[in-house]
Structure 1
Amino acid sequence: MSMRINGFDYRRVPGVNGVCLNVAVGGSGPPIALLHGFPQTHLMWRHVATDLAVDHTVICPDLRGYGASDKPADDYAKRTMAADIVAVARELGHSAFALAGHDRGALVGFRAGLDHPDVITHLMCLDVLPTLDMWDVLHGTTAAVGFHLYLMAQPPGLAETMIAASADTFFGHFLSQWANDDRAIPADVRAAYLDACREAVPSIVADYRASATTDVAHDREDLAAGNRLAMPVSVIQQDWGAALGFDAAALWGAWSRDLRHRTTSAGHFMAEESPAEVTAAIRELLTAGTE
């Protein structure tokens, strides 16, 4: 993908197991990593990142399997993807950092917070539920909203073939249906997202398949062990709880010792639709624990 965040430097940085990530880095000051969601790349943070870079070192990687990062055939457990981000930050000279993630990136951030509590100082998750809770709340006809989750959870072969046969239609569906404001993702950015996804169908499917297998097992282990997110946590999401009949704040509260939960009128792509709101919330979170 040729589009870049203005003023940021780009480099390839090693994660784990020989995988290198495409990483945009800008600004100076306390470090924060911003992790993108589906079906996007690091470019989704372009507004928030430039604002935060005024007084922070901002690290925006393409997750493994996405964008211009390496796309191994397997190992898309969020545990591995979280270890990638910790390794990237360490390579850039940061032993601890704040993290904000959207969608898939939020699930990576959630796992990073559980696995690396001494590294992640603050955690923000945009428009997701923890994996176990996500599967539990989808039932009956309401589960239709998550059809892609079930499709990509199937054994290797089926989803990859179906999606690759009409990749632009598949990924474009989400870019259109999940946005409240069509202007938030202009035509050139949309084209860049579609180009990136078209080239990454197997790895994107592998990422989602892991959320129905390995990630579930890891979360169950943490739940049974009583592990919780120890750092200050902020969650912003659409009011899916009211729509689908669950208490999102309570679900998140079971995983976090220090939670700030709010809903937004923005659509799923809130960092692009309402960047000022998201940036303000990040800055508010970063003051937690410093009073």
Structure 2
Amino acid sequence: MDTASDPLATRRQLLASAATLGAATAGLLATASPASAAARIVANEGRVPGFTARNADVNGTRIHYRVGGSGPAVVLLHGYAETSHMWNPLMPLLARTHTVIVPDLRGAGGSSKPEGGYDKKNMAVDIHELVKSLGIQSASIVGHDIGLMVAYAYAAQFPAETERVVLMDAFLPGVGQWQNVWLLRDLWHFHFHGPVPLALVKGRERIYFEHFWNDFAADAKHSVSEADRRVYAAAYAQEGGMRAGFEYFKNFEKDAADFAALSTNKLTMPMLVLSGEKAGGTFLIEQGKLVANDVKGVVVKGSGHWLMEEAPEQVIPELVGFLK
């Protein structure tokens, strides 16, 4: 069958291509200095067919992003322990019908790593200014993990400019019984920041991230690929990378106060919430219903936290269908 008329075959082909590309990059990263590794990461991200890698100075920082396709705009926001690289298999599919904007968040990947500004309202302003700099008046926003917090902050601050919003497996600080997640013993990393944690993980970034990639997956052997693990570990090993990542968590209390205030005005645009059966379960879906009026919740069967990697056959069709 012609893959052009078989979406499942096309997805498989794209996933295989992404894995091959990641493996090639991983080999280069193994012997690269941190500076050259960062350059190679950015170069790798720019090789998704039909996408161009660029940088934008917005909101007092530099955001690295890729853009491709044409049509209604959609923004894809990655989470912690990953970069925009996570979206590679999805990008060409969405680009058939959308202008797709794929940034590295402040502090991650090819973006700059300033000392502050990591509260999610401000990170959403980063992305909003990026979108406006491209002459785009409205967009759909998709976020996974930390990215979903930025996506919610974007939609809540700029509702008239947000067409649709997708939240993928984590939680919203300040909404409902959020502290039941924030204070879970197994989520100790939310409180792991400062000079001592930074010293402990320096040069051991890969060891630290293995905890997330393995323990938050339904099956550690069916999680983030080895090639991608090398890419992400090298990205966060850049100067300031781990400090910036810790800032995402350090700001949760401020985010909680901000989101509690924002959530008093419910969102009216369509919202899709995807949550792993073996991770967040229905918790984020119930939070979504507290902050929005039009919510479709989907529990991704058999998946842990890494939805795009663990269950692409379920997640990609949901995203493509909802964004249409």
Once the two structures are superposed, the pairs formed by residues 85-96 of structure 1 within 5 Å of their partners are 85-96=127-138
Match of 2:103 in 1: 61
**Which of the residues 260, 267, 272 maps onto 1:234?**
272
Match of 2:117 in 1: 75
Bigger Cα displacement from structure 2, 186-195 vs 265-274: 265-274
How many residues were matched structurally? 276
TM-score by length of 2: 0.79
Equivalents in 1 of 2:269, 2:245: separation in Å?
A: 29
1:219 and 1:240, CA in 2 relative to 1: closer, same or farther beyond 3 A? farther
Aligned residue type for 1:218? D
Equivalents in 1 of 2:306, 2:95: separation in Å?
A: 21
Gaps of 5+ in 1: none
Shift of 1:161: 2.6
Match of 1:203 in 2: 244
Equivalents in 1 of 2:272, 2:70: separation in Å?
A: 23
- Indicate whether 1:178 and 2:216 are aligned: yes
1:184 and 1:47, CA in 2 relative to 1: closer, same or farther beyond 3 A? farther
Equivalents in 1 of 2:128, 2:261: separation in Å?
A: 21
Match of 1:255 in 2: 291
TM-score by length of 1: 0.87
Maintained 8 Å contact 1:52/1:279: no
Match of 2:257 in 1: 217
Q: Once the two structures are superposed, what CA deviation does each residue of 1:234-277 show, in whole Å capped at 9, x if it has no partner?
A: 0010236887xx75433321111110011012221111232342
**Which of the residues 45, 56, 64 maps onto 1:13?**
56
Match of 1:3, SS state, is helix
Q: Which has the higher contact order (CA 8 A, sep 6+)?
A: 1
Q: Once the two structures are superposed, what CA deviation does each residue of 1:15-56 show, in whole Å capped at 9, x if it has no partner?
A: 212x11110111111110000011000000011112111111
Shift of 1:284: 2.8
Equivalents in 1 of 2:145, 2:52: separation in Å?
A: 25
Equivalents in 2 of 1:283, 1:119: separation in Å?
A: 20
Match of 1:3 in 2: 44
Maintained 8 Å contact 1:171/1:197: no
1:161 and 1:83, CA in 2 relative to 1: closer, same or farther beyond 3 A? same
Q: Once the two structures are superposed, what CA deviation does each residue of 1:143-173 show, in whole Å capped at 9, x if it has no partner?
A: 1221111223xxx423323332632211122
1:112 and 1:180, CA in 2 relative to 1: closer, same or farther beyond 3 A? same
Equivalents in 2 of 1:98, 1:209: separation in Å?
A: 27
Q: Once the two structures are superposed, what CA deviation does each residue of 1:192-237 show, in whole Å capped at 9, x if it has no partner?
A: 10001122011111121111x32112112224xx212221100010
Aligned residue type for 2:311? S
Q: Once the two structures are superposed, what CA deviation does each residue of 1:90-109 show, in whole Å capped at 9, x if it has no partner?
A: 11221100011100101100
1:91 and 1:284, CA in 2 relative to 1: closer, same or farther beyond 3 A? same
Equivalents in 1 of 2:112, 2:76: separation in Å?
A: 18
Equivalents in 1 of 2:317, 2:101: separation in Å?
A: 18
Match of 2:88, SS state, is helix
Gaps of 5+ in 2: 1-40
Match of 1:138, SS state, is helix
Aligned residue type for 2:261? E
Aligned residue type for 2:94? L
1:170 and 1:259, CA in 2 relative to 1: closer, same or farther beyond 3 A? same
**Which of the residues 166, 175, 179 maps onto 2:204?**
166
Once the two structures are superposed, the pairs formed by residues 26-41 of structure 1 within 5 Å of their partners are 26-41=68-83
**Which of the residues 181, 186, 192 maps onto 1:138?**
181
Aligned residue type for 2:165? L
Equivalents in 2 of 1:76, 1:242: separation in Å?
A: 23
